[in-house]
Structure 1
Amino acid sequence: MTARLRLVCALLWLLVLLLAGWWIGARLQLTGDLRKFMPDAQTPAQKLLIDELGEGPGSRLLLIALSGADARTLAMQSQALHAKLVAQSAFSLIANGGDEGLEAIPARLRPYRYLLSPTLDTQAFDQAYLRDALDARVQDLGSPAAALIEPLIGADPTLETLKIAEALQPAQAPQRQHGVWFDRDSKRALLVAQTHAAGFDPSGQQAAVDAIHDAFAQVRGDSGTQLLLSGPGAFSVEIGGRTQREAQWIGIVDTIGLVLLLWIAYRNWKMPLLGVLPLASAGLAGLAAVAVLFEGVHGITVAFGFTLIGVVQDYPIHLFSHQRPGVMPVGNARALWPTLATGVASTCIAYLTFLFSGVDGLQQLAVFTIAGLATAALATRFLLPALVDPAPRDFADSRFLARLWARIARLPRPRWSLLVIAAIALATAVFAPGAFWQNDLAKLTPVPADALALDAQLREALGAPDVRYVLTVRGRDAETVLQASEKLRPELDQLVAERAIAGYDYAARYLPSAATQRARQQKLPDAATLKADLDAAVASSPFRADAFDAFLADVAAARNAPPLTRRDLDGTPLATSVAGLLLETPDAVAREAGPHRETRQDEANDGNATALVSLSGLADPAAVATAARLHGAQLLDLKAASESLVVAYRERVLAALAIAALLLAATVWIALRQPRRVLRVLLPMALTTLLILAVLRGFGVELTLFHLVALILAAGLGLDYALFFDHAGDDYADQLRTLHALIVCSLMTLLVFALLALSSIPVLRAIGTTVTIGVLGNFVLALLVSRRVVRTQ
């Protein structure tokens, strides 16, 4: 094959990769749902945490604050922003303390206002009550609220509609000025937006955030006001943007570094092109494999998977550096293959254990890694040699490498000193001050401290519920838990009076139990009684006798209507409020909808429905927990649940690592079959792992799950270095070629992972720091331990 034909084939390979990348990219479904990187929940608190992380209303909540102008201007902009956002399809609810709750009940459900409002719990619709209500309406018509009240009076003289609207406001709503919410200092107008998109739907949250910014730009004008935005969705958008920006500059620097290093190392402009081909093939193969086998590819899988450059890039470098005159590249590739295949097989086996972890994200990572490594290795073995110049420079003739190798050969081979180093490293890792493991998921977020502080301020100003603690009431179906939570109300009111909590919210506030609705139904007077009492009340008022026909019709309809259910609320703001506080499994929903749901006691399965009671201003968790237990409820600590979930996840990863270590050692034993050689190959990798842990712990780093996963990558690099030093044997020329290859490999890997170590993203920083330490330790120890005695020419 001529040089021109080899270049054409390389360009065709690159073209095929570009087309494959375009095809895969058009069909790839990325997801940011962190639940894919969590094990199956085992406890009620863990299950609740998993549900709420991605689908709960808390993850869909965006907090908005307008500042930088006087209160009247901010109020006008709040109303204008509210009007624009209500028209946006991205949101299920927009609230600013105005009149958004008046449309909570559509026309088909308006008679139910008498079953939803608590009025009938303490008051009968008798003549005296109706007379007082009409007198109050006369006064309302002479007040500034007349425009709001007048359209309601004919059908709703007792203003139950407004009571429902007030129920839609937060349990601890902020103060109102000029008809909208403000913070305590009256310097910020406040709004709340709830998105249709789940909290970890990055594209949906991005669309919602963009809609808010676009709407604000239209209402702001030249007033100079500022928009402050917070909440999980805003954080995810910020994190996504920052990750993309960092990935771009890291990718640019890596690419430039790769090209320059390969050109400097081989002094041939074709080498950067040829070196990239197996790497790109590996990345596309990994993406394709995950896309085929899984419903959606997680962003962490993609981000971590592409750090395979630290391993995959080594394969073509070994081929380039081990070329020798008189031997075709295909022959060199064949000679390298047993050693290369051993390293690839060992690393793949290490990641293979993740397939049995039961965690979707780890399974994706395993598939991506195995497919990528295998593709790059096979491409280097069977495709790349045909494109390499058959008459390359022989690095065994390098004077610089000869001098460097001579100095290395004079270094004493460490023996007992390795045991001392291992003991010191182990002691440092175990006894270093501070916690060994980092269990707090919040510490893995790159959200700046000032953004978290702003979020806390807005939540306090809006009276948002506590995000750590929640009361749960579990039962066989929605009706059971709604009744149980209603019985809990007196105790909750007592806790408020004792200042153990500032307030609370629960689903029965918006959707009373069927039992409560029936009790209120029975208190509604019959048509004749109501008509007589109303006529008497109207006679002493300025209203016409026929002004309240719609009211009579609605009460009559309410008396005969079946109890309102959760499904009846679909499409209304009440449905949004109930959805976050009433959780049901499919079997509970089916049982509740069944024709004999109240008599099928044999199907009872405690825990199929859960009513949540959100708490605000929690000051005494112990008192709340005690009160909850006395009434069959439970106070859940979601922070503790997240930490227990992390512990469970770590246990699975550690088990996978232990199995991987055994399989890796077995693979090396099968390949080498000599105890001394096996020890020389495995010892640098094992000792480097200890050194990584010692350095991290010595600098006060608490280890995360991502440090553990990165340890496998570092171990794969160490195994590669040791295998190739062992492969060189005692042949002087091969030792020089191997030294050149491993210097280039380690420099390239250091460039990649040192940049990751500088990232502001905790996950990337953990991976980068771990592998950077691993590269240094593995290269030095492999050089000292795995090299053979030099046999000079």
Structure 2
Amino acid sequence: MGSALNPRRRIALALLWLALLAIAAWAIGQRLQVTGDLRKFMPEASTPAQKLLIDELGEGPGSRLLLLALSGDTPEALARQSLALRQRLAASPLFKLVANGGDSGLDAIPARLRPYRYLLSDTLDSQRFDSAYLHEQFQARVQDLGSPAASLVEPLVPADPTLETLKLAEAWQPANAPQRLHGVWFDRAGKQALLVAETVAPGFDPTGQQRAVDAIRAAFAAGRGASASQLALTGPGAFSVEIGGRTQREAGWIGSIDTIGLVLLLWFAYRSWKAPLLGVLPLASAGLAGLGAVALLFDGVHGITVAFGFTLIGVVQDYPIHLFSHQRAGLSPRDSARALWPTLATGVVSTCIAYVTFLVSGVDGLRQLAVFTISGLATAALTTRYLLPALIDPAPRDAAESPLLARLWARIERLPRPRFALALLAAGALAVVAFAPGAFWQNDLSKLTPVPADALARDAQLRSELGAPDVRYMIALPGRDAEAALQAVERLQPALAQLVEGRAIAGYDSAARYLPSIATQRARQAALPDTPALQAALATALAATPLRSDAFGAFVADVAAAKRAPPLVPRDLDGTPLAASVDGLLLARGDHATALVSLAGLADPAAVARVAQAQGGQLLDLKQASESLVVAYRQRVLLALALAALLLVATVWIALRDPRRVLRVVLPMALTTLLILAVLRGCGVELNLFHLVALILAAGLGLDYALFFEHAGDDRAEQLRTLHAVIVCSLTTLLVFCLLALSSIPVLRAIGSTVAIGVFGNFVLALLVAREPAGAPA
């Protein structure tokens, strides 16, 4: 039982372990799909505004919009580049829509749908195509043909003498559309050419957005030539690409420094090149087990799960370190692992129980974290217990023989046992937590983005230049289907017009502006004359004009086609620029639909809310919805933390069965948790969801430190080995999380700062509280 393997067999076993890890990595890589959809870290939506927010975050057209600005050259050159860029991108299958103001209203409708202009225009709501109205229109066209606008009007007149195409083009222009110079959109200063592109991929599909961004940059480079112009690109997709690139870069330098630091620390601590190499095996096993479990149980692994899960190195690396530090001559590695196992298992089970509470949180992302963490911790502990001892040198250096550790422990023993000081520390920390100025919780999701402030400011500036509506407030009108929702919008439009007149809003947009309801289209069809009546009206109307009666055959044919055509429905618009506008404002979800009315310049929310409610709708505040989601999420996490604390204490009680010993183990962890909150609050940090999740990780570390100091008892040699192990664990963990605390990514910074404070506090308090007075030297 206690015999050790010879060196050759140890090397063979290590190589076999590595080979199995490589095979597992390949198998997991075939199945693993990493996603960046933030909805996986959102609780289930319970209000209409929250449901809309969740839908729009992941799949809505707003998440797919990219805003482009060309600058750095003359307006004429920028206009040419804008047209060339639009032409290239419009031919790409990566984009649903590319607009720069250079297309006409006719371009929005393909030839197969052009007769529908008579059903889309509101002319027939108040006019009839009788001889009097047509005569009036023909007289106007005669004047137009003699004016400077003749070149624009002349091609339209034979098929569209009433100019419904131009009416639609004017009606479909954004209320606050940017100015047009040289045929394309420009900002107010006339120095930036503006474009809008809608991608096929959702905004939080990092791979799809990366391809779209790469295509834009390649098309711009191809069309720029020798120009000194520059491209600015913003929008959710551009930000997700930036976040992905920054995360990859930071993960690279953090991982490199961490790996080098870990290797050096382990080599210095054990004076052996084997320790860093062998210590990696349980860590790699833990990471692959976590990824494999999540890939098996979920349809996609969230990037945050991967990033947070691999911070488990701060806990998992402790297991082989304890085994290395407690190893000594005369005691086989297997016997050493067996002696450590009760304490190690208690810490593992306690931390796993804390994460088990996330399984009932109702949040998919938290469940992924729980599965990753539990699988990783259990795998690392079991491999350290049953596999790693077979690889360890049976005759290592004994940490208890270190003169430096002996002198350090002697000084620690002279420190007074804190009692009253702990009460003062707790009271002071509570006072800071309770009375520190500033908000306690951070409810603004936008503050978690790693996008630089200047990039956000540029995005806001481009949205303002393009006349984008206020994305905070919307009116939602539910219906059993798209038709019912469109009819609800049409009933609301007169009241909206009154709100504009009363300056309660500056303007609005809705799907009915582009696609009237079927009922409205049928009413306009009924108002169209049949072919004989139209031909008779044409003959009368043209009698007193210089226009030839045989020149309007296309007009007669289009009216006849519109008269008998089936009404347009949303799917008929697929592949046209109109589809993007309608899709963003008419959400069809299975057995129901919601029509949205976007608002610009909202000045009187109360008045708008009353008007919406009177028509069966609701004014939605998406900012408030996002904050309520965060609050709901936090409540679930806090409930999980409370349940975790109870289960953790119960686990320690079952393991130790002594109130005094349980208090010595739990007290450092509880005080450190309070200390973390006090430090963060004292530094003016608003606590977010990831601070709370990191508290569990910090608590797990504190529990391990206290358990091992308590396990050492009063045996001086064992106390020195424990001190050595905990110092090495603390330094390696502190290195990892201090690097994370330096990250520019708020999520990683929150986790890193929280756990780094916890490592220091847990080490000091566990050393002062959990240790036993030393007995006689062995």
2:504/2:608 contact within 8 Å kept = yes
1:51 aligns with 2:51: no
- Quick one: structure 1 residues 547 and 350, their matched pair in 2 at CA, closer, same or farther if it must change by over 3 Å? same
Q: Does 1:377 align with 2:381?
A: yes
Matched, 1:740 2:724: yes
Three-state SS of the structure 2 residue aligned to 1:417 is: helix
CA distance in 2, matches of 1:347, 1:661: 10
Residues 418 and 196 of structure 1, relative CA distance in 2, 3 Å threshold = same
Query: Amino acid of the residue matched to residue 94 of structure 2?
Result: A
Deviation at 1:344, TM superposition (A): 0.5
CA displacement at 1:138 relative to structure 2: 5.1
Residues 144 and 764 (structure 1 numbering): CA distance in 2 closer, same or farther, change over 3 Å? farther
Which of 265, 290, 295 is equivalent to 1:291? 295
Choose the corresponding residue for 1:253, options 257, 267, 273.
257
Question: In 2, distance between residues paired with 1:118 and 1:8?
Answer: 82
Please, which runs of 5 or more residues in structure 2 have no aligned partner? none
Do the aligned partners of 1:168 and 1:574 also contact (CA within 8 Å) in 2? no
- Which segment is superposed worse, 399-408 or 613-622? 613-622
Q: In 2 relative to 1, CA 163–207 (structure 1 residues): closer, same or farther, beyond 3 Å? A: farther
Structure 1 residue 432 displacement after superposition: 1.1
* SS of alignment partner, residue 468 of structure 1: strand
In structure 2, what is the equivalent of residue 757 of structure 1? 741
Post-superposition offset of 1:31: 0.6
Following superposition, the deviation at residue 634 of structure 1 comes to 1.9
| Cα offsets for 1:140-178 (capped at 9, x unmatched) | 566776666555443333232344444444332111111
Tell me what 1:592 maps to: none
Distance in 1 (CA, whole Å) between partners of 2:148 and 2:442 is 57
1:663-704: per-residue Cα shift (whole Å, max 9, x none)?
A: 111111111111111111111001100000011111111100
- Tell whether 2:698 aligns with 1:714: yes
Cα distance, 1:383 vs. partner? 0.7
**What SS does structure 1 have at the residue aligned with 2:478?**
strand
Indicate whether 1:491 and 2:475 are aligned.
no
Closer, same or farther: CA 741–143 of 1 in aligned 2, 3 Å: farther
2:317 and 2:139 map into 1 onto residues whose CA distance is 84
CA pair 24-148 structure 1, distance change in 2 beyond 3 A: farther
Mapped pair 1:528 → 2:532: yes
Larger deviation, residues 133-142 vs 407-416: 133-142
Cα separation, 2, equivalents of 1:123 and 1:190: 38
Give the Cα–Cα distance (whole angstroms) in 2 for the partners of residues 615 and 265 of structure 1.
Answer: 64
Counterpart of 2:95, as a letter, is F
1:730 equivalent to 2:698? Answer: no
Distance 2:725 2:214 in 1: 49
Indicate the residue corresponding to 1:414 in structure 2: 418
Q: Deviations over 1:384-431 (max 9, x none)?
A: 110010110011100000000010011111112212211111121112
Residue 451 (structure 1) aligned with residue 455 (structure 2)? yes
Task: Tell me which residue corresponds to 1:644.
Answer: 628
User: Which residue number in structure 2 is paired with residue 688 of structure 1?
Assistant: 672
Match of 2:236 among 220, 223, 232: 232
Q: Give the paired residue count.
A: 773
The alpha-carbon distance between structure 1 residues 681 and 369, as it changes in their structure 2 partners (threshold 3 A), is same
Q: Kindly tell me: are residues 504 and 305 of structure 1, through their superposed partners in 2, closer, same or farther at Cα, counting changes over 3 Å?
A: same
Gaps of 5+ in 1: 589-608
How far did 1:122 drift?
2.8
Q: Which residue of 2 aligns with 1:574?
A: 578
Distance 1:261 1:16 in 2: 27
Stretch deviating more after TM superposition (684-693 or 509-518)? 509-518
1:30 alignment partner AA: V
Indicate conservation of the 8 Å contact 1:45/1:641, yes or no. yes
1:76 Cα deviation (Å)? 1.1
Q: Deviations over 1:299-320 (max 9, x none)?
A: 0000000000010000000000
SS at match of 1:433: coil
Contact 2:480/2:591 (CA < 8 Å) preserved in 1?
no
Q: Secondary structure of 1:438's partner? A: coil
Most deviating of 493-502 and 60-69: 493-502
Q: Output the CA distance in 1 between the equivalents of 2:585 and 2:606.
A: 22
- Look up the match of 1:178: 182
Q: Deviations over 1:740-778 (max 9, x none)?
A: 000000000000000100111110000000000000000
Q: Distance in 2 between matches of 1:134 and 1:249?
A: 72
Closer/same/farther in 2, CA of residues 96 and 145 from structure 1, 3 Å limit: farther
Say whether 1:769 aligns with 2:773: no
**In structure 2, distance between residues paired with 1:128 and 1:230:** 52
Aligned to 2:589: 585
What residue in structure 1 maps to residue 684 of structure 2? Answer: 700
- Aligned residues of 2:97 and 2:198 also touching (Cα < 8 A): yes
Which amino acid in the other structure matches residue 131 of structure 2?
A: Q
Asked if structure 2 preserves the Cα contact closer than 8 Å seen for 1:68 and 1:226, the reply is yes
Measure, in 2, the Cα distance between the counterparts of 1:777 and 1:521. 77
Alpha-carbon offset, residue 562 of structure 1? 3.1
* Distance across 2 between alignment mates of 1:392 and 1:761: 42
Distance in 2 (CA, whole Å) between partners of 1:31 and 1:159 is 49
| Distance (Å, rounded) in 2 between the aligned partners of 1:333 and 1:189 | 68
Aligned residue runs from structure 1 range 124-163, under 5 A: 124-137=128-141, 149-163=153-167
1:550 matched residue in structure 2: 554
After TM superposition, give the deviation of residue 546 of structure 1 in Å: 3.0
Kept in 2: contact 1:446–1:762 (CA 8 A): yes
1:396–1:733 contact (8 Å) kept in structure 2 = yes
Q: Is the 8 A contact 1:168 1:577 kept in 2?
A: no
What is the match of residue 504 of structure 1?
508
3-state DSSP of counterpart to 2:204: coil
Report the CA distance shift for 1:277/1:166 in structure 2 as closer, same or farther (over 3 A): farther
Whether the aligned pair in 2 keeps the contact of 1:104 and 1:164 (CA below 8 Å) is no
Cα distance per residue 1:13-66 (max 9 Å; x no partner): 223323322332233111101000000001111111111111111111111111
The residue type equivalent to 1:253 in the other structure is I
Root-mean-square deviation (Å): 1.7
Hey, what's the Cα distance between the residues in 1 that align with 2:312 and 2:182? Answer: 58
The structural deviation recorded for 1:502 is 2.2
Q: Which residue of 2 aligns with 1:244?
A: 248
Normalising by structure 2, report the TM-score: 0.97
Q: Which digits, 9 at most, give the CA deviation of each residue in 1:618-651, with x for residues without a partner?
A: 2333332333334333211100000001000000
2-side partners of 1:499 and 1:184: how far apart? 24
Per the alignment, do residues 148 and 381 of structure 1 end up closer, same or farther by CA in structure 2, a change over 3 Å counting?
A: farther
Do 1:314 and 1:745's aligned partners in 2 also have CA atoms closer than 8 Å? yes
Q: 1:402 aligns to what? A: 406
| 1:679 paired to 2:663 | yes
User: Percent identity at matched positions?
Assistant: 76
Q: Aligned runs of 1:294-309 on 2, under 5 Å?
A: 294-309=298-313
Correspondence for 2:771: 787
1:479 Cα deviation from its structure 2 partner: 2.2
The one-letter amino acid paired with 2:597 is V
CA displacement, residues 295-350 of structure 1 (integer Å, 9 cap, x when unaligned): 01000000000000010000000000000111111111111111111100110110
* Distance in 2 between residues matched to 1:481 and 1:254, nearest whole Å: 56
- TM-score (norm. length: structure 1): 0.95
Please give the alpha-carbon distance, in whole angstroms, between the structure 2 residues aligned to 1:101 and 1:411. 83
Confirm whether residue 474 of structure 1 aligns to residue 478 of structure 2: yes
- Rounded Cα–Cα distance in structure 2 between residues aligned with 1:544 and 1:305: 78
Deviates more, 1:620-629 or 1:454-463: 620-629
8 A contact 1:82–1:96 mirrored in 2: yes
8 Å Cα contact 2:504-2:604 kept in structure 1? yes
CA contact (8 A) 2:96 2:575 kept: no
What corresponds to 1:605 in structure 2?
none
| Cα separation, partners in 2 of 1:142 and 1:2, compared to 1, 3 Å | farther
1:310 matched to 2:314: yes
Give the aligned partner of residue 75 of structure 1.
79
Q: Distance in 1 between matches of 2:374 and 2:47?
A: 33
Q: Structure 1 counterpart of 2:751, which letter?
A: I
Q: 2:232 is matched by which residue type in structure 1?
A: L
1:118 equivalenced with 2:122 (yes/no)? yes
